[in-house]
Structure 1
């Protein structure tokens, strides 16, 4: 169990049932801390906010450029979307099953540690933490491009850098204010960004012209090869399916609501992705879409005329990215918080105020800010692009470990007390999720896997130091 104020206890054996009822005073990871529970600033998320957290973190700003990115492959890219959606929903179902077993803050970290022990849990926490703060830096830099449409900030690298830093620190301040404000910002930003997205996704169907779709496969490869190539660009779009599971301790009735929020949020995001991309394909001519830098703006202009589409889409993208940064900032602190309670991260990460691990938020936003400043001041885009690709690899490490934990539970479960039909269904879903996780990892590319492995090996050194210090204290 997690112990606060004393030396961390050894991890239980993998077979031990560590599940603690929600609200139990022993559940120091999966519930709001005692000193937080009475605060008006700390409030647990209900199903709507948990669902908004999932959808808001999956749908960032990439949706506004996605149709143009995959247009060179032809409409076969829509098939790739469908395949990826099946894998993402299977992964969402696995997270729902695991959260029902152990509804505590930490998500993949908790599941990996329960099944395989401290070292696997640490790797899941370390990899996920890297993913969050590198992704936040990338998202802030991308958001500046949309902000420049509304307010010129890209004229000088210093103004662009300051704008990117402000876009990271504003969501961090919302997190410092407490989970009540995090949930409010997430819900409002998710609703606001869906207005223009649904305008194109649904409204575009009334202006749909099949002649604008272009050829089915323009990649020059076979259909299977084209699907794989298009999928490599789309893989990053579904990162965030674990959002509700990572924050399970802040979700009311987590055993029930985490799974529902994960599946509903992932399905909703997939529907917006598919309808939005299909509508843009059917409203913007293919030869123009291939070279477009603002496909949703072009779609709005084609639907209603005028040139106001660019401003509307830029504003929607900015709201979308700010909401995404708000959610990812919270997630960036939740996994280290859970690991710190087990002695697998520095103890400072285990401090929480108003329901938010404030030290984790502060360290994360400082690291992402330093990376952002380095990107602007060094003038090197390649270094930053490689780091962004690394997040695809580092995110799949906890995904794969969580899926392996579900496989462990399915194989090691008592056969005489298991519903065989449900076991078969869960086995198929888990197999699809495992294949999806491996596909994500492969899609990151050789360079990203190489760089990501270096990040993981650096974590092994950190683990060795923390484990040695813990053993010395226990002795």
Structure 2
């Protein structure tokens, strides 16, 4: 057993509750797919079109890296299937401080991203119901889009799972319509040049990959919620790989179909590529409305899943004394304080965004999350490499060790690529957010030391310090 300086309390006994239900493989897979596939997919084909069809090669390379990361999370969850995902893995391998950094960075990523998702969803809602022309009406709509998923979370894990499963099915239906149906309307003349940028294939792959890198954020979803998953040692790994592979298939086929149904010169300037694809396939002008509805469902489901994740990591950290104790409170299987604090912070950020009349501050914060999301990924991958190198692993044969080492190396390269793709400004400002977390950690660590000192101080005959083993 790994030795740490704090006690990991035993998991509380679960009381049967009709509002609480552990996730099986379908819901866990839907959580992964639903959190990976947000609203960005509806703009991706137009975003990478200027680079030409070489961007499809970039998709393939990224998919290999994302699946390697998914496999790493599966192996780590089999080793330690507790709620918290990257936080748990980093803390178990490297101690409290690394665990706190993983939790802190992930928490920042989730609530800022939730605000961004809600604001972006208003743009799609405006196609169905005109709201974006009035600042405060749009703000109210964004707040409603955040609070509805929060309420489903507060109702219990049973409702979270149901909403996630239904929204994933509803979002996949129109995406698969374009992804699969578009192949029957495919015209190679629409593809345009292989390297439209003219800067060389390798440069085009790297440039388009920078836009696509963050399409796979969310592969950790099942691992973060492992404590709410049935048979997590087996289910988390399967759900993570299946969900990531499924999302990759939808991404790749969807982009290929749009490339083949919309002329390249038109796609480069498109603001609604999936709408243009539907109109090209079936005629008429109803594609914009249909895709807007699909995007709205997709982003609402994504908000539902990310709201749960935003509370799970602080919950795990709070149980270990690395976050305020209030975050460890659970009701109906959901960390209610974590959900409440997250939605309030995201709401305040949303209101500030609309009140300022400019999205610049908001865009900078969103850019920072592209870096903070990579911190727990890198720490989790490093934890897997640590276990492999140090020999702290279950009985494995040489072939399995070699395979796990290769997978971990690919996942590490993918995580580093994510950091590089975030850009200098995001890394610089993201580090400032991490340093702010260091101050929070200092305060919390000091309070924990003050609580423990009376019982373990030399003055009362106790030892100067005590190292305890979890589970002993």
2:319 equivalent among 341, 354, 360:
341
1:237 equivalent among 215, 219, 231:
215
Q: CA deviation at 1:39?
A: 1.0
Task: Give the alignment of 1:446-457 within 5 angstroms.
Answer: 446-457=424-435
Retained in 2: the 8 A contact 1:50–1:251? yes
Work out the CA distance in 2 between the residues paired with 1:309 and 1:458. Answer: 46
Aligned residue in 2 for 1:91: 69
Work out the CA distance in 1 between the residues paired with 2:10 and 2:392. Answer: 26
SS in structure 1 opposite 2:23?
Answer: coil
Aligned residue in 2 for 1:110: 88
2:57 equivalent among 50, 73, 79:
79
Q: CA deviation at 1:415?
A: 9.2
Task: Give the alignment of 1:342-421 within 5 angstroms.
Answer: 342-413=320-391, 418-421=396-399
Work out the CA distance in 2 between the residues paired with 1:130 and 1:167. Answer: 19
Report the count of equivalent residues: 451
Work out the CA distance in 2 between the residues paired with 1:425 and 1:49. Answer: 28
Work out the CA distance in 2 between the residues paired with 1:239 and 1:373. Answer: 25
Retained in 2: the 8 A contact 1:167–1:322? yes
Aligned residue in 1 for 2:6: 11
Work out the CA distance in 2 between the residues paired with 1:139 and 1:415. Answer: 39
Work out the CA distance in 1 between the residues paired with 2:65 and 2:284. Answer: 39
Q: CA deviation at 1:220?
A: 2.8
1:118-142 deviation line (CA, Å, top 9, x unaligned): 0000000000000000000000000
State the TM-score, normalized to the length of structure 2.
0.94
Retained in 2: the 8 A contact 1:90–1:433? yes
Residues 1:371 and 1:180: Cα distance change in structure 2 (over 3 Å): same
Task: Give the alignment of 1:246-285 within 5 angstroms.
Answer: 246-285=224-263
Work out the CA distance in 2 between the residues paired with 1:327 and 1:246. Answer: 11
Work out the CA distance in 2 between the residues paired with 1:340 and 1:102. Answer: 17
Work out the CA distance in 1 between the residues paired with 2:187 and 2:394. Answer: 57
Work out the CA distance in 2 between the residues paired with 1:131 and 1:415. Answer: 31
SS in structure 1 opposite 2:373?
Answer: helix
2:276 equivalent among 298, 311, 315:
298
Q: Please identify, of 258-267 and 380-389, the stretch whose mean Cα deviation from structure 2 is larger.
A: 380-389
State the TM-score, normalized to the length of structure 1.
0.93
2:37 equivalent among 52, 56, 59:
59
Work out the CA distance in 1 between the residues paired with 2:288 and 2:339. Answer: 33
Aligned residue in 1 for 2:470: none
Retained in 2: the 8 A contact 1:339–1:345? yes
Residues 1:254 and 1:447: Cα distance change in structure 2 (over 3 Å): same
1:198 aligns with 2:176: yes
Residues 1:214 and 1:299: Cα distance change in structure 2 (over 3 Å): same
Retained in 1: the 8 A contact 2:387–2:393? no
Residues 1:234 and 1:414: Cα distance change in structure 2 (over 3 Å): closer
CA RMSD of aligned residues (A): 1.4
Aligned residue in 2 for 1:422: 400
Q: CA deviation at 1:287?
A: 0.3
2:120 equivalent among 142, 147, 170:
142
1:295-342 deviation line (CA, Å, top 9, x unaligned): 000000000000000010000000000000000000000000000000
Aligned residue in 1 for 2:458: none
Q: Structure 1: 5+ residue runs without aligned partners?
A: 2-8, 13-17, 19-25
Q: CA deviation at 1:416?
A: 11
SS in structure 1 opposite 2:183?
Answer: helix
Work out the CA distance in 1 between the residues paired with 2:15 and 2:156. Answer: 11
Residues 1:417 and 1:326: Cα distance change in structure 2 (over 3 Å): closer
1:121 aligns with 2:99: yes
Retained in 2: the 8 A contact 1:11–1:117? no
Retained in 2: the 8 A contact 1:42–1:178? yes
Retained in 2: the 8 A contact 1:189–1:319? yes
1:329 aligns with 2:307: yes
Work out the CA distance in 2 between the residues paired with 1:72 and 1:431. Answer: 31
SS in structure 2 opposite 1:356?
Answer: coil
Q: Please identify, of 223-232 and 271-280, the stretch whose mean Cα deviation from structure 2 is larger.
A: 223-232
Q: CA deviation at 1:376?
A: 1.0
1:439 aligns with 2:427: no
Residues 1:416 and 1:361: Cα distance change in structure 2 (over 3 Å): closer
Aligned residue in 1 for 2:457: none
1:197-241 deviation line (CA, Å, top 9, x unaligned): 000000000000000000011113121111111011111110000
Q: CA deviation at 1:417?
A: 5.0
Q: CA deviation at 1:37?
A: 2.8
Work out the CA distance in 2 between the residues paired with 1:245 and 1:138. Answer: 23
Aligned residue in 1 for 2:153: 175
Q: CA deviation at 1:11?
A: 2.8
